A and B are shown apart, each in its own frame.
Chain A
């Protein structure tokens, strides 16, 4: 070997030494516990509406119950910081409709008048990827400081959220319907239930209709209707190859499953025997039932008989909304997420928007969760020592004042019962179906079946597609889905008794 050449052994030795040095740098940095800097907030890009129903399937309270709480007050909390020192926070949101962005702007403007020392950058993680991304960020410790907390169930398991028990007063929580409050609590790393979220907007489901098409077809708008009457209306509203009675979304997360599940529940199907909200400990799962099969069959037959837009198997909520807004379909299941926007868009085309209650099946017209928009504080704020400041924002957003500004801008329903009597909501007929629906609300699944929404989204929705495409019968779907749910729960350490 020539003494002038670097040998392979010496090179590899040098490489190892260099790698060790480079590895030491991030390790030392991690030990130092550097604060996570707020990330720049990309501006909203006006993405299509996202389903915003809470995955926890909470029970709705009575919209007519007199509010029992006085206006919530947020206790100013000493931060130990020098007065006037600016604190920068990041807030995450999953929806990005233009009116939602405007609503945030208006709330932030009002917030800054009260808290000029707190600056907030707003991030948007689109709904479809939000849960996966937030889980990944939680593992990496790079979550924002606070924001939309609809995935609290999985984030709490990763110890990625801050309990709010010492921050939210009982008066603050009493503004919500009693049955919702339980759903703001999750089991933390210490196996105890803590308050991890508060709510700023509500919503369940109604049938949005193109009233102009209804009038043209000679249909009257009923105060309530049955599943058979719904099918008749869909049939009359269908003009082959031009317009369909209803648009169904059978792809994506959130809305597709929730809308399907409403049909199943209308026929008496359910996760357990009885109300899911009342089930507090593991009991036999009853997904595989004759009632489920009837509900699934009814839903499938809308498509099979040609009353639903043919692209349903791969339509997400975006395509569903587009089908409705473009006049391709006359009806759709929808929450009160962008009613103002939808009403204006239809009006520009000479059409009128209206909302009808869900059709009643043999088991009535059970509603989904009334509890929709949850906000919470992530562990990043704890690491950075800005929990108090984050709470200032979260509590303001979810206060009556914040909700009034937010919902007043984008037309969503506020979560505070007192605000349901506001003329904007109480006097507008389009909200009546939603407000009445809160009375029939129930969780989609019991509180002990933590994370099972992911099974519905990842396994249940493809089965819905199989149902539409005749590759799966309702009986097969009922059995397979129940098996998947039980397997998931048992893999997560939840022993499910057999019925």
Chain B
């Protein structure tokens, strides 16, 4: 018995060590760095400043703006991906001819590299891109519109791109959840004369609650801290209209070389996500108990 258990722990050891050095050590170093001024243009000057950089962050109007825009970006993307993913999951769950092919096609956005997706959508959304061409030909708009250069439409355009990229994740998770729902529940609802919408609302959705909770939580965390689409399509512009907190940290670190200040911003991002996760889980568990 001892050997059996010991072997199990030994198998866990490499993963634990890897997590320790890949996750926790850099995290601890990042937190430590946030208490020092570290500017790459001044490597011989790295004083300990305590919480000064955190105070600077709170007083930085760009930080506040990035925080709010980060949530705009995240909530828009997650809701968009969830809704489209749910529709896709419902489609994939039907007994359709060529179901396998449909499932494969739906997964394509997920496997396309983010950089490629960003470049693709950037081209589609240029002044003479396909989007403008189609909309002007349909008479929806009269003049070409610079979707990514207009502060009003830049973020929605990014959210649209991220929705396209992210919906297959929800589709796969929700499909897996749907397939675990007992068939008897659907039979019972059919016997009771429920409409399709009523079946969805009262049978499918409640059964998918834990799947929805996990997938939206993961998607929120990933989206809030992602910068790839934003970096390639708008670089946070025009004039900071698509500047999120994650972009703020990245540009501060690698654009202006202020590593300590960027580390403080990154710590704040991590804290925000931890608080969000805690509140989210608390609300979910409380609702479960009720």
Contact = CB atoms under 8 A, between A and B. Distances in A.
Contact of B148 (A131, A136, A311): A311
A14 interface: yes
Contacts of A458: 251, 255-256
A22 B16 CA distance: 12
A326 to B, nearest CB: 8
Contact of B237 (A310, A314, A328, A457): A314
Given A157-B42, A241-B143, A314-B154, A488 B127 contact: no
B9 A14 contact: yes
B151 A158 contact: no
A313 B17 contact: no
Interface residues of B, number: 42
Contacts of A454: 255-257
Contact of A457 (B6, B126, B255): B255
A10 to B, nearest CB: 9
B146 interface: yes
B256 A314 contact: no
B148 A19 contact: no
> What's the dominant secondary structure at chain A's contact region?
helix
Interface string A438-481: 00000000000011001101110011011011011000000000
Contact of A251 (B13, B150, B235): B235
A5 B41 contact: no
Given A5-B5, A19-B20, A465-B237, A311 B126 contact: yes
A3 B144 CA distance: 77
Contacts of B256: 454-455, 458-459, 488
Contacts of B146: 310-311, 313-314
Contacts of B151: 469, 471
Nearest to B258: A491
A135 interface: yes
A455 B6 CA distance: 56
Nearest to A464: B239
Interface string B196-240: 000000000000000000000000000000000000011111111
A252 interface: yes
B41 A311 contact: no
B276 interface: no
A47 to B, nearest CB: 11
B257 A314 contact: no
A136 B254 CA distance: 8
B2 A6 contact: yes
Contacts of B114: none
B39 interface: yes
A457 B154 CA distance: 21
B43 interface: yes
Contacts of A462: 236-237, 239-240
A466 B2 CA distance: 68
Contact of A18 (B17, B126, B150): B17
A379 B127 CA distance: 45
Contacts of B13: 14-15, 18
A11 B2 CA distance: 12
A322 to B, nearest CB: 9
Contacts of B258: 491
A394 B5 CA distance: 60
Interface in B1-15: 1-2, 5-6, 9, 13
Contact of A492 (B41, B150, B239, B251): B41
A310 B145 CA distance: 8
B239 A157 contact: no
Nearest to A316: B235
Given A309-B127, A310-B149, A135 B40 contact: yes
Given A15-B16, A492-B42, A313 B2 contact: no
A350 interface: no
B212 to A, nearest CB: 35
Contacts of A19: 17, 20
A471 B2 contact: no
Given A158-B40, A451-B257, 19 more contacts: A2-B1, A5-B2, A11-B9, A14-B9, A14-B13, A135-B254, A157-B43, A241-B144, A311-B127, A311-B149, A314-B149, A314-B154, A319-B126, A450-B41, A454-B255, A458-B256, A488-B256, A492-B41, A493-B45
Interface of B: 1-2, 5-6, 9, 13, 16-17, 20-21, 37, 39-43, 45, 126-128, 143-144, 146, 148-151, 154, 233-240, 251, 254-258
16 contacts: A5-B1, A14-B9, A15-B13, A154-B40, A158-B43, A311-B149, A454-B256, A457-B255, A459-B256, A462-B236, A462-B239, A469-B238, A491-B37, A491-B42, A492-B42, A493-B42
**Which 10 pairs show the lowest CB-CB distances between chains A and B?**
A132-B254, A313-B238, A4-B1, A466-B239, A458-B255, A465-B239, A313-B149, A451-B41, A311-B146, A465-B238
